C-alpha cells in the first residue's frame, strides 16, 4: 500500500524546501555519524515536537518520545526498555552533554491519570506504562482542586519525578556529579507557545 498522499506532499515540500536549503549539511550528516550534544525526552503528542519548539536543525537533538515523556527507574532486568536503551545510547555512546525531560500542557496521558477511566485500564500497555504517574498524582492531589490546576501540577511533578528516575542510572548520576552531563526539566504550553523550565536548586518552575 502506498504512503498517504499528504505525507508524499509533505515530503515534496521537504525536498524542495528544507533539504534544498540544507543539502550540504544533510550530505555531511549522512556520510558520517551523528554527534548531538543534547537529548530531549518528550511526549508522543503530535502538538509538542521538540525539533519544532527549539527550531533545531538536522543532527542537533537526539530525541526520545514516549507517552507522557516518562523516564522509568533504572531496572536492568532483561526486559524490553526502549526509553532506558535510548538514554544509555545517548549518554554512553553519543556522549550528549545535556538531557532534558520536556512535558507539555493538556497531556492526554496525564489527564487520564488525573481524571481516571479509559484508556488506562489495568490490562493494556499504556495502563502499565502510566502506573508510576498514579503515585505522583496522589502525592500532589491533596494540594489542588480537581481541574486544570491539578493537571498542571501533576504534569510538572511528573517531569520532576522523571528527573529523579534519571538519577537512578548509576553512570548518568556519576556524570552529573562530575559536571559532565546536565539534567534539565521543561514544560511547553501548546496554546501560548511558552516554555517553562525547572530550577532544581529552588525546586520552582518559571517561564523562560
Please return the burial class of 174, using the count of CB atoms within 10 Å of its CB with bins 0-12, 13-18 and 19+.
exposed
Whether residue 160 contacts residue 198, with contact meaning beta carbons closer than 8 Å, is answered with yes
Q: 40 — alpha (psi -120 to 50), left (phi > 0) or beta? A: beta
The cell numbers describing 110, all together, are 496525564
Task: Respond yes or no: is residue 104 known to be catalytic.
Answer: yes
Selected catalytic residue, list 104, 156, 161, 175: 104
Task: Respond yes or no: is residue 107 known to be catalytic.
Answer: yes
Task: Respond yes or no: is residue 142 known to be catalytic.
Answer: no
Selected catalytic residue, list 13, 18, 25, 43: 43
Task: Respond yes or no: is residue 196 known to be catalytic.
Answer: no
CA distances from 201 to 41, 198, 204 (A): 21, 9, 8
Selected catalytic residue, list 13, 18, 25, 47: 47
**Do strands 61-66 and 38-43 pair parallel, antiparallel, or not at all (unpaired)?**
parallel
Selected catalytic residue, list 107, 156, 175, 196: 107
Task: Respond yes or no: is residue 44 known to be catalytic.
Answer: no
Q: Which residues carry out catalysis? A: 43, 45, 47, 104, 107
Amino acid at each position: 500500500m502506498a504512503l498517504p498522499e499528504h505525507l508524499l506532499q509533505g515530503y515534496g515540500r521537504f525536498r524542495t524546501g528544507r533539504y534544498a536549503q540544507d543539502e550540504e549539511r544533510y550530505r555531511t550528516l549522512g556520510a558520517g555519524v551523528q554527534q548531538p550534544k543534547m537529548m530531549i525526552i518528550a511526549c508522543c503528542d503530535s502538538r509538542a515536537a521538540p525539533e519544532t519548539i527549539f527550531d533545531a536543525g538536522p543532527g542537533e537533538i537526539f530525541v526520545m518520545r514516549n507517552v507522557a515523556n516518562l523516564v522509568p527507574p533504572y531496572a536492568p532486568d532483561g526486559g524490553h526498555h526502549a526509553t532506558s536503551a535510548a538514554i544509555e545510547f545517548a549518554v554512553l555512546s553519543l556522549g550528549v552533554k545535556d538531557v532534558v525531560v520536556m512535558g507539555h500542557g493538556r497531556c492526554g496521558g496525564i489527564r487520564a491519570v488525573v481524571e481516571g477511566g479509559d484508556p488506562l485500564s489495568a490490562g493494556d500497555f499504556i495502563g502499565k506504562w502510566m502506573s508510576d504517574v498514579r503515585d505522583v498524582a496522589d502525592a500532589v492531589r491533596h494540594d489542588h482542586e480537581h481541574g486544570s490546576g491539578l493537571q498542571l501540577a501533576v504534569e510538572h511533578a511528573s517531569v520532576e519525578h522523571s528527573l529523579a528516575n534519571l538519577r537512578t542510572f548509576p553512570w548518568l548520576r556519576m556524570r552529573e556529579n562530575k559536571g559532565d552531563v546536565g539534567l534539565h526539566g521543561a514544560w511547553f504550553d501548546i496554546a501560548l507557545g511558552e516554555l517553562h523550565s525547572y530550577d532544581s536548586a529552588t525546586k520552582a518552575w518559571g517561564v523562560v
